Amino acid sequence: MIALSVSLRTRLMPLLTLLLCSVVPATAQKSAPARYNGQAAFALTQQFLAAAPKRWIGSPGHAKAEDFIKAHFAPEIAHGNFETDSFTASTPAGMMPMRNFIVRYPGKKSGVIVLASHYETNYPLRDINFVGANDGACTSAFLMELGNYLRTHPPQGASIWLVFDDGEEAINEWSERDSLYGTRHLAAKWSQDGTITRIKAFLVLDMIGYKNLNIDRDQNSTPWLQDLLVTAARNTGHSGSIFKQTQYVEDDHVPFKQRGVPVLDIIDLDYGPPSMQHPEGSYHHTEQDTIDKLSPHALQITGDLVLELIRLIDLRG
């Protein structure tokens, strides 16, 4: 240890003070990485349900849901980054007009990461008070809030496209031909025009707002994307919220899987206590699928996982 004289210490004090003042503000300016806002996604879910509680195809509520989505993405529409993909589907109820909405956020690297959710409610349940809070509403709101995030934090890797797809639910009874109308149409369209070759990953969000969230390991998903979700959960501290159950899920990712696209279904099918009629959960496809079963915390968990998953997909190249 070297002892300094009083006079030397006196002369050095102003210099030390100046150095400290220059270092401390620089440290203070460092902020935590921006996070997804689960509370905002929950509020958007409430607003979406208030605007369009019943959104079965051909109903006034379906049109209101479309208007709500388009109003939210007015800035993207103004900049030419919003596409309405209109088509007519042959269904057990006849020919029905449907619409997918695609919102694009250009990235700095090649390739596209697609995140999709259906926005309509179940057609066979149109005569009961089914609002699909978890099944369609919260995932649509989730993507809307992700759009808010991407406006201020544009993709630094691959481009990110948000897809609000129509006609996921069966019109009569679930089958290969009577389901997934929007994504079947979109997969065929993008296959024909070559867009599908640009997709690095197709991620589906479905039923991710339940208070007791635990995302299933879906056997229809691509194994390396499942592995990345495990890594994302570990990195974000959410390992306890994934893969307690293993399911084989037919969902909006299937038409893209069939065309060779890497896919991941982010879904929690175990919604509510199981019953004889609904072994996957007694709230699923019932009047009990309401906003009180959901939580901002569940949407926050999913948001954390999705942003980390996007980062990991970009790192993979």
Would you list the DSSP string of 224-284?
HHHHHHHHHHHHHT-GGGEEEEEE---STTHHHHTTT--EEEEE----SS--SS-TT-TTT
Question: Model pTM?
Answer: 0.90
Quote the pLDDT of residue 171.
Answer: 98
Q: How many domains does the chain have?
A: 1
Domain with 48, as residue range(s), is: 37-316
- Please write the tens of the pLDDT for every residue from 162-175: 999 999 999 999 99
Interacting residues of 85 by C-beta distance below 8 A, sequence separation 6+: 99, 100, 101, 102, 185, 186, 189
> Does residue 288 belong to any structural domain of this protein?
yes
Using CA atoms, how far apart are residues 253 and 209, in angstroms rounded to an integer?
19
- Within-domain flag for 154: yes
Find the CATH number of the domain harbouring 156.
3.40.630.10
Q: Is residue 153 part of a domain?
A: yes
| pLDDT band with cut points at 50, 70 and 90 for residue 1 | very low
User: What does the chain come to in residues?
Assistant: 317
Identify whether 8 is part of a domain.
no
Average pLDDT over residues 58-81: 98
Is-contact 209 298, C-beta < 8 A?
Answer: yes
Q: Per-residue pLDDT averaged across 51-72, rounded?
A: 98
Q: Is residue 16 part of a domain?
A: no
For 221, the token pair is: 């998903």
